Chains A and B, each alone.
Chain A
Amino acid sequence: MSLISALPARAATIALRPAVAAALDHRTRAAALAFVAAAAWLLVAFVILRWPDLGDWGRGPELAWASVALAAILIVSGALAATGSTRLGRLQRATPWLIALGLVFSAWEAGSAKLGWLAQPFFPPPHAILEVFTDDWPKLGESIVASVKLELLGFALGAAVGFLVGVLLGRSRLFGYWVHPVLRLIGPLPAIAWLPIAFFAFPSSWSASIFLIALTTGFPVAVLTWSGVASVNPAYYDIARTLGASRAFLVFKVAIPAALPQVFVGLFMGLGASFAVLVTAEMMGVKAGLGFYLQWAQGWAAYANMYAALIVMSLMCTSFVSILFRVRDRVLSYQKADLKW
């Protein structure tokens, strides 16, 4: 190539360089991250397969091959990333996390099943927890259904009653005269304190647990609904009244919509508090649910089962919170979004 003909091409390269270089840089980075993540998961498989387990835990090979499969997917995603494709983009965004998890799992496998540095039987290896999911899922599934049912019933009941009490406190003086002192006395009491009484006062420990979860949920919902209704801009009422609004209109079309943002704060507080009561009630009385499973596993020193139940429990709780966020974002869609859960 002569010097003269090369010059314009070179000029173009120079002009394009920053943008192209940035894109290339981004691609190589994404691909490299995916390959490192694949390596981390191959390391997990290697650690599991290369050395024999110190104890008797199932599902080692399965976890190893699952890790290899994940590594294969990561290699494909790395190759795609290198070509600039955005397929498997969600996986690409997760690669830093997958690297970290691969390293943690490798270390966990080595430290527990292979070297015994982690005290046994308290810290079983990951593939022992996998065994719980693969072999004990009927019992685990049953527990999830029981917990979800108990939580949903108690929460819905508490939220409905709390909301009603809050609105009435905000709008009716007579209701406030009788209910406010009761709310002040009983509300701050942790619902768990009722537990011994509730279990014999109610026909079943199940209905007692629903009552306790509802009580825990209801208090913050009532207080925040009340405060929401009480702090409605009085001009909102004036405007509606001059436009011919009835009392019912003032409650349903002014007070309640205006208070809804506060009501949701109460619902979030109530939901968080209700989880504690749910687990406690299941451990102490109801012979079903994840809390019961957890305690049963502890009785048998089945530590892998406890970790599995803990994982499922946190997934359940976070799902409840996510759903409530979804509902809130939908109901309060007129507001500018403030927080992404």
Chain B
Amino acid sequence: MVSAAVAFEAGAGSSLDLRGVSHRFALEGAPLDVLDAIDLRVGAGEFVALLGPSGCGKSTLLRLVAGLDPPSEGELFADGEPIAGPHPSRVVVLQDPTLYPWRTVSANVALGLEARGVLRAQRARVGETLRLVGLSEFANAWPHQLSGGMAQRVALARALVNDPKLLILDEPLGKLDSLTRLTMQGEIASLWRRAGFTALLVTHDIEEALLMATRIVVLSERPARIKADIRVEKPYPRHRGDPELVARRHEILGLLGFESAW
């Protein structure tokens, strides 16, 4: 763990600036409007959770921030520079671990270093990062030999080994069992606090957002607009029974149209 603290420079997060970002998909017949003039500024080192109804455009927004697709309208900036394409300082972790089945765990983690041609110089980081997520013993295992939680930890290591300035998480814990999810929520939050990257997390779990994020952005039905932007100023580690968080939970449920649901 000490080596891990050395490996990640603190305060290395990037800031984000989204200006009037709209996006539509050209479907046969009518175009599908997915994002509607999103304006969002994220400071360096913030942990922002995005909440919104299913299909409202959260994953689409993340793809734009990652530079995987260009927006239909508007501009995105990272650290003041326009986002023109993917960049290894902005890495994604998806709901499915999407590990390459033909690579061992450590070769999967090494993917980014290899793609950038720095594997030879930085090979030690692979082991360090695997230790960070507690999977040193599985370095030589194949992905099909891992449980869902372990595979997702490997995916996290594959992202972290690149020392990202922005970590983009698209429902990363969505498919895990509730106990594994609880453990990993704590782990990701503490990794974020130690490493200092900026985090953008999409989740469908309000409690998860409240436990992990410094800020929760609530989106409307498709086409997504920002409905509310809530700061959560609570020290970590947080507790789910905390009265302030419980109050926030009701507030957000109301924003999502579930006032009477609890």
What's the nearest-Cβ distance from chain B to residue A330, in Å? 13
What's the nearest-Cβ distance from chain B to residue A11, in Å? 48
Prevailing SS type, chain A contact patch: helix
Q: Which residue of A lies closest to B66 (CB)?
A: A242
B144 CB–A CB distance under 8 Å: yes
A243's partner among B96, B103, B112 (CB-CB below 8 A) is B112
A235's partner among B98, B103, B114 (CB-CB below 8 A) is B98
Q: Which residue of B lies closest to A241 (CB)?
A: B86
Contact A245 B115 (CB under 8 A): yes
Task: Collect the chain A residues with CB atoms within 8 Å of residue B101's CB.
Answer: 334-335
Contact A242 B100 (CB under 8 A): no
Contact B88 A243 (CB under 8 A): yes
Contact A257 B94 (CB under 8 A): no
Contact A243 B115 (CB under 8 A): yes
Task: Collect the chain B residues with CB atoms within 8 Å of residue A238's CB.
Answer: 63, 66, 68, 92, 94
A242's partner among B68, B96, B144 (CB-CB below 8 A) is B68
Q: Mark B80-98, 1 if CB is under 8 A from A, else 0.
A: 0000001110111010101
B102 CB–A CB distance under 8 Å: yes
Contact B98 A242 (CB under 8 A): no
Task: Collect the chain A residues with CB atoms within 8 Å of residue B116's CB.
Answer: 243-244
Contact B68 A243 (CB under 8 A): no
A239 CB–B CB distance under 8 Å: yes
Task: Collect the chain A residues with CB atoms within 8 Å of residue B103's CB.
Answer: 257, 334
Contact B144 A236 (CB under 8 A): no
Interface size on A, residues (CB 8 A): 22
What's the nearest-Cβ distance from chain A to residue B115, in Å? 4
Contact B87 A244 (CB under 8 A): yes
- Please measure, in the bound complex, the distance between the C-alpha atom of A242 and the C-alpha atom of B169, giving whole angstroms: 13
Within 8 A of A (CB), among B74-128: 86-88, 90-92, 94, 96, 98, 100-104, 111-112, 114-116
- Tell me which of A55-63, A152-160, A201-209, A246-254 binds B: A246-254
- Please measure, in the bound complex, the distance between the C-alpha atom of A253 and the C-alpha atom of B100, giving whole angstroms: 10
Task: Collect the chain B residues with CB atoms within 8 Å of residue A239's CB.
Answer: 92, 94, 98, 111, 158
A13 CB–B CB distance under 8 Å: no
B162 CB–A CB distance under 8 Å: yes
Within 8 A of B (CB), among A227-270: 233, 235-236, 238-246, 249, 253-254, 257-258, 260
> Most chain-B Cβ atoms within 10 A of its Cβ — which of A233, A242, A244, A253?
A242
What's the nearest-Cβ distance from chain A to residue B65, in Å? 10
Q: Which residue of B lies closest to A331 (CB)?
A: B102
- Please measure, in the bound complex, the distance between the C-alpha atom of A243 and the C-alpha atom of B101, giving whole angstroms: 17
A336 CB–B CB distance under 8 Å: yes
Contact B100 A244 (CB under 8 A): no
Task: Collect the chain B residues with CB atoms within 8 Å of residue A233's CB.
Answer: 98
What's the nearest-Cβ distance from chain B to residue A74, in Å? 44
Within 8 A of B (CB), among A300-341: 332, 334-336
Task: Collect the chain A residues with CB atoms within 8 Å of residue B86's CB.
Answer: 241-242, 244
- Please measure, in the bound complex, the distance between the C-alpha atom of A332 and the C-alpha atom of B102, giving whole angstroms: 7
Task: Collect the chain B residues with CB atoms within 8 Å of residue A244's CB.
Answer: 86-88, 112, 115-116, 162
- Please measure, in the bound complex, the distance between the C-alpha atom of A265 and the C-alpha atom of B195, giving whole angstroms: 46
- Please measure, in the bound complex, the distance between the C-alpha atom of A324 and the C-alpha atom of B87, giving whole angstroms: 41
Q: Which residue of B lies closest to A249 (CB)?
A: B115
B90's partner among A235, A242, A245, A254 (CB-CB below 8 A) is A242
Task: Collect the chain A residues with CB atoms within 8 Å of residue B68's CB.
Answer: 238, 241-242
What's the nearest-Cβ distance from chain A to residue B203, in Å? 19
- Please measure, in the bound complex, the distance between the C-alpha atom of A221 and the C-alpha atom of B140, giving whole angstroms: 31
Do A242 and B102 form a contact, CB below 8 Å, given A235-B94, A235-B96, A253-B114? Answer: no
B138 CB–A CB distance under 8 Å: no
Contact B111 A240 (CB under 8 A): yes
What's the nearest-Cβ distance from chain A to residue B75, in Å? 20
B8 CB–A CB distance under 8 Å: no
- Please measure, in the bound complex, the distance between the C-alpha atom of A79 and the C-alpha atom of B256, giving whole angstroms: 82
Do A243 and B142 form a contact, CB below 8 Å, given A235-B96, A258-B100, A335-B101? Answer: no
- Please measure, in the bound complex, the distance between the C-alpha atom of A332 and the C-alpha atom of B114, giving whole angstroms: 21
What's the nearest-Cβ distance from chain A to residue B68, in Å? 6
- Please measure, in the bound complex, the distance between the C-alpha atom of A233 and the C-alpha atom of B96, giving whole angstroms: 11
Task: Collect the chain B residues with CB atoms within 8 Å of residue A254's CB.
Answer: 100
What's the nearest-Cβ distance from chain A to residue B220, in Å? 26
Task: Collect the chain A residues with CB atoms within 8 Å of residue B168's CB.
Answer: 242
Contact A236 B115 (CB under 8 A): no
Contact A260 B102 (CB under 8 A): yes
Contact A242 B92 (CB under 8 A): yes
- Please measure, in the bound complex, the distance between the C-alpha atom of A336 and the C-alpha atom of B101, giving whole angstroms: 11
Contact A236 B111 (CB under 8 A): no
Residues of B bordering A, CB below 8 Å:
63, 66-68, 86-88, 90-92, 94, 96, 98, 100-104, 111-112, 114-116, 142, 144, 158, 162, 168
Provide 17 A-B residue pairs closer than 8 Å at the C-beta atoms, listed in order of the A residue: A239-B92, A239-B94, A239-B158, A240-B111, A241-B68, A242-B88, A242-B90, A242-B91, A242-B92, A243-B115, A243-B158, A244-B112, A249-B114, A249-B115, A253-B115, A257-B103, A334-B103
Nearest first, the 4 closest Cβ-Cβ pairs linking A and B are A243-B112, A244-B88, A245-B115, A244-B116
Apart from A238-B94, A244-B112, A246-B115, list 11 A-B contacts with CB within 8 A.
Answer: A235-B98, A236-B98, A238-B63, A239-B94, A241-B86, A244-B88, A253-B115, A260-B102, A332-B102, A334-B102, A335-B144
